[in-house]
Amino acid sequence: MNEPAVLSERVWTIPNILSLLRLAGVPLFLWLLLGPQADLWAAVVLAVSAFTDWADGKIARRYGQTSRLGQLLDPAADRLYILSTLLAFVLRDIVPWWFVALLLIRDLAVGIALLVLRRHGYEALQVNYLGKAATFCLLYGFPLLLLAKAAESTAAVSLPLAYAFIIWGAALYLIAGAHYVRQIAQIVRSAPATAA
């Protein structure tokens, strides 16, 4: 049962449609957060995005609908939600700028390492468990933080949970990024021997 999944070239699969809907929700989320500052509705959009992130992967694996496009869309939607949320949170003074800078530096380092990997003729590595756990924590922590901002009556419960998810998520995000860069460095160092 541990055979590698065969990637399909299909575009119109349920997981891909869910990923496209998640991408389409980013402008709505940003508008809710920065325009009318409707934090509760922004939290709902973010929570729905987190749920569809889980659902598209589950459906893809269960019904054999993994595809090359899905492998691009899913992490792209995750990164876009995380980036847009962080930038909006900084603009609204919900999180400190240094916290966002730390996560952006991580993404920049991984992006440069990925370019080096592609330059050596390799495709991107699969997302590891740490990266998935980090994304899970961040995408569940952000709506809880918005919920605490939107409804003060729930803040006593939602705020500590939000901080716990976000702190753990950020730590795992940095560790996953360092692990990814280390893997790429090992592959690139061994590339000449492999090519020979």
Q: What is the DSSP string of 67-115?
A: BHHHHHHHHHHHHHHHHHHHHHHHHTTSS-HHHHHHHHHHHHHHHHHHH
Q: Is 54 inside any structural domain?
A: yes
The model carries a pTM of 0.76
Closest alpha carbon to 176 in 137, 127, 142: 127
Q: Is 185 inside any structural domain?
A: yes
DSSP at 124: P
Q: How many domains, in total, are found in the chain?
A: 1
Q: Is 144 inside any structural domain?
A: yes
CA–CA gap between residue 174 and residue 113 (Å, rounded): 14
User: Which residue range is the domain that position 95 belongs to?
Assistant: 14-195
Q: Is 2 inside any structural domain?
A: no
Q: Is 47 inside any structural domain?
A: yes
pLDDT at residue 196 in the model: 40
Lookup: tokens for 160: 């500590």
Tell me the mean pLDDT per 10 residues along the chain, length 196: 53 83 91 91 87 82 78 82 89 92 92 89 80 88 88 87 95 94 89 51
Q: Is the dihedral of CA 134, 125, 81, 67 positive or negative?
A: negative
Q: Is 67 inside any structural domain?
A: yes
User: Taking a C-beta distance cutoff of 8 angstroms, is the pair 124, 20 a contact?
Assistant: no
AA identity, residue 42: A
Which CATH number covers residue 131? 1.20.120.1760
